[in-house]
Amino acid sequence: MTVGTKGAAVGAQRTVMITGVSRGLGHALTLELARRGYFVIGCARSQEKIQSLQQEISALDPSSSSRHLLTTVDVRSDSSVRDLAKVVVEAKRIPDIIVNNAGTINRNNKIWDVPAEEFDMVIDTNIKGTANILRHFMPLMIEKKHGIIVNMSSGWGRSAAAAVAPYCASKWAIEGLTRSVAKELPSGLAIIALSPGVVNTDMLTSCFGSSAALYQTTEAWAPKAATMILSLTVEDNGASLTV
């Protein structure tokens, strides 16, 4: 695991951790929170895209890049996530909020035509990746007695569509996982399933083709999503919400 930037001083500034920050929703949300002055822990698989994101944050405020921790992590790997947790502990930056955003979708196909490796990629990223983050970060939040976890869901985690059965299955799993974990949490913590709504991302283009351009951009979505996520409280524990 390669760390891009590290935060220095630890103060009252809230810390938000986001997975899958290299593109789409995670990328836009990271920039929005950095713009608002939050300390962001961001991770993705691509070191090149992590470096590019770091440059974008620096362009917003040249003095801000040192206030964030951006790193390469594959959430599908339990050991990679464990290493991230160690770095976060060493930096004394236990997240106040975690957004489990990293996700992928299968190419439009009937389930019997989806290659096994493609099915595994969806399940391993969307479900196991989320579980790996919970495994290594929830104990830190429990010890801190404070924390909000946002598991990114989908409208297709509450309904169904043809040609995306693996993705639907993974997001239905996220809904069930979230509701179950909500019953296990001690006071001071909450976990929420959050559907982003319909947003023009690479994943939407994979499903809708050129029609994806008819929907809101990630840049238009991010301010609304950030405001909503930052306003979540323990009273929202177990809820299934939509931006």
Do residues 99 and 18 touch, judged by C-beta distance below 8 A?
yes
pLDDT at 62: 72
Q: In this structure, what are the phi and psi dihedrals at residue 40, rounded to the nearest 5 degrees?
A: -110, 130
Domain coordinates in residue numbering, the chain: 15-242
Average pLDDT over residues 41-68: 89
Q: In this structure, what are the phi and psi dihedrals at residue 130, rounded to the nearest 5 degrees?
A: -65, -45
210, burial (CB in 10 Å: exposed 0-12, middle 13-18, buried 19+): exposed
pLDDT at 198: 96
Tell me: the pLDDT tens digits for 68-98? 999 999 999 999 999 999 999 999 999 999 9
pLDDT at 8: 36
> Per-residue confidence at 233, pLDDT binned at 50, 70, 90?
very high
Q: Please enumerate in sequence order all residues whose Cβ is within 8 A of that of 54, keeping only pairs 6 or more positions apart, or say none.
A: 4, 5, 65, 68, 70
> Per-residue confidence at 4, pLDDT binned at 50, 70, 90?
very low
Tell me: the pLDDT tens digits for 117-131? 999 999 999 999 999
Average pLDDT over residues 16-42: 97
- 69-72: strand order across its sheet: 69-72, 39-44, 15-19, 97-100, 147-152, 189-195, 240-242
pLDDT at 1: 54
Tell me: the pLDDT tens digits for 129-180? 999 999 999 999 999 999 999 999 999 999 999 999 999 999 999 999 999 9
Tell me: the pLDDT tens digits for 191-223? 999 999 999 999 999 999 999 999 999 999 999
Which DSSP helix (H) or strand (E) runs through 148? strand 147-152
Return the active site residues: 167
pLDDT at 98: 98
> Per-residue confidence at 66, pLDDT binned at 50, 70, 90?
low
Give me the CATH topology for the region 15-242.
Rossmann fold (3.40.50)
